[in-house]
Structure 1
Amino acid sequence: MEHISVITAISHPLRRRIVDRLLLHGASQVGTLARAFDAQVGSISHHLRMLQKAGVVEQVDAPDGDRRSSWWQLARRSFSWSAADFDSPADALMAREAERANLRRQLERLQRWHRISPDSELAGFATDTLAWATQEELTALMDRLTALLDDWRGGIDTEDGKERVPVYFFAHGFPTEV
């Protein structure tokens, strides 16, 4: 279960974009992040400190050893939670709001893809299924999918000279009626 501070930290729209960029590009300098998001260096530094406080990012040495620049990388690569995990009504409310914001973000990305997909060189896919499951089985599925995605992402050879584009994957598993 995620701590509520992690959930609230990554739920901020700019902080989520920072996390996504670090996930795709690896360690980055504050100035590079500021340019990528057309934001002030001070604003990016503030958001990085908020993410650091939650244990999401960590400050690292510059690759060239230059101690005058501030570099950051992800301290972890995945986040999972359910509002049902929280006993505190206030924390459960914040977790539900974060779930809703995350779902809106996911659907916005999907809608954007559908608007541009005829012009894309990379084909997407859709998949779904329906089955009977307990909470433990649903949690086990999430764990297996997370491990599969980590393995898939780690197996991509970014040094092979092939041109790649960012790919976004999301899936949801939840109780339903038929």
Structure 2
Amino acid sequence: MAERHVRQVTDSRVLAAMSHPLRRRLLDVLTVYGPQPVGALAERTGQAPANISHHMKVMRECDLVEEAPELARDRRERWWRPVSAGLRWSGRDFDDDPGEAAVLRAAESLNLDHQVGLVREWYAAPDEEQAVWGESTFAADRWLHLTPAELLELSRDLVALLDRWSARSAEAAAEPGDETRRPVFVFAHGIPATP
């Protein structure tokens, strides 16, 4: 398979497909754990294999996932992997059609709900689990005075930093022996706002 890239989404059908909560979770599972068969995806998400197969078909039709037949032990087993390393989109690509603009707004809202939901789950985790991570978890925010060009520069700097750590994470995940290593979710938003 060729090197995976971050995909620029310009089709509202793709936004709608990836915004479904279970499909978003399936994409996250495939991103974090690599290619998985339907049975493993069902087990990780607590869903029936038939339900997983349905959602994988929807995502395949939108080119979000692809089959990985070389990993299957037989013709009945279906393995899946994400097509791209990530997704991004711009509101400008959906401005011309009110229906597409509505899908964009819904997708952005659901995406933010998903991100905040992961943080809320951590804050609700048992004290014993939180104690293992101690002060290593973080939340940070700042009020900055920026031009649009400076915000774009900051965005590129943050994405480059996350890309560097993502590559390191993937390499380290392959190393056995560190029981404390687990997936860590990091997200940031930079938006014009009024205090």
Q: Is the pair's TM-score, using the shorter chain for normalization, greater than 0.5?
A: yes
Q: Percent identity?
A: 35
User: Structure 2: 5+ residue runs without aligned partners?
Assistant: 1-7
**Cα offsets for 1:76-107 (capped at 9, x unmatched):** 12222343542211111111111111112222
Task: Work out which of the residue numbers 118, 122, 131 in structure 2 matches 1:113.
Answer: 122
Given that residues 27 and 82 in structure 2 are in contact (C-alpha distance below 8 angstroms), is that contact kept between their aligned partners in structure 1? yes
Given that residues 33 and 44 in structure 1 are in contact (C-alpha distance below 8 angstroms), is that contact kept between their aligned partners in structure 2? yes
Q: Would the alpha carbon gap of residues 58 and 64 (structure 1) be closer, same or farther in structure 2, given more than 3 Å must change?
A: closer
Distance of 1:117 and 1:167 partners within structure 2: 17
2:17 maps to 1:2: no
Given that residues 65 and 80 in structure 2 are in contact (C-alpha distance below 8 angstroms), is that contact kept between their aligned partners in structure 1? yes
1:48 shift after superposition: 0.8
Q: What are the within-5 Å matches in structure 2 for residues 43-122 of structure 1?
A: 43-63=51-71, 65-87=73-95, 88-116=97-125, 118-119=127-128, 120=130, 121-122=132-133
Q: Which amino acid aligns with 2:189?
A: H
Given that residues 30 and 71 in structure 1 are in contact (C-alpha distance below 8 angstroms), is that contact kept between their aligned partners in structure 2? yes
Q: Would the alpha carbon gap of residues 117 and 131 (structure 1) be closer, same or farther in structure 2, given more than 3 Å must change?
A: farther
Given that residues 27 and 72 in structure 1 are in contact (C-alpha distance below 8 angstroms), is that contact kept between their aligned partners in structure 2? yes
TM-score normalised according to structure 2 size: 0.81
Task: State the aligned residue count.
Answer: 178
Distance of 2:154 and 2:88 partners within structure 1: 12
Q: Would the alpha carbon gap of residues 153 and 117 (structure 1) be closer, same or farther in structure 2, given more than 3 Å must change?
A: farther
DSSP-derived class of the 2:194 partner: coil
Distance of 1:72 and 1:66 partners within structure 2: 14
Which residue is equivalent to 1:160? 175
Task: Give the CA RMSD over aligned residues.
Answer: 2.1
Q: Would the alpha carbon gap of residues 85 and 137 (structure 1) be closer, same or farther in structure 2, given more than 3 Å must change?
A: farther
Q: Which amino acid aligns with 1:129?
A: R
Given that residues 16 and 107 in structure 2 are in contact (C-alpha distance below 8 angstroms), is that contact kept between their aligned partners in structure 1? yes
Distance of 2:93 and 2:56 partners within structure 1: 26
Q: Would the alpha carbon gap of residues 69 and 76 (structure 1) be closer, same or farther in structure 2, given more than 3 Å must change?
A: same
Q: Which has the higher contact order (CA 8 A, sep 6+)?
A: 2
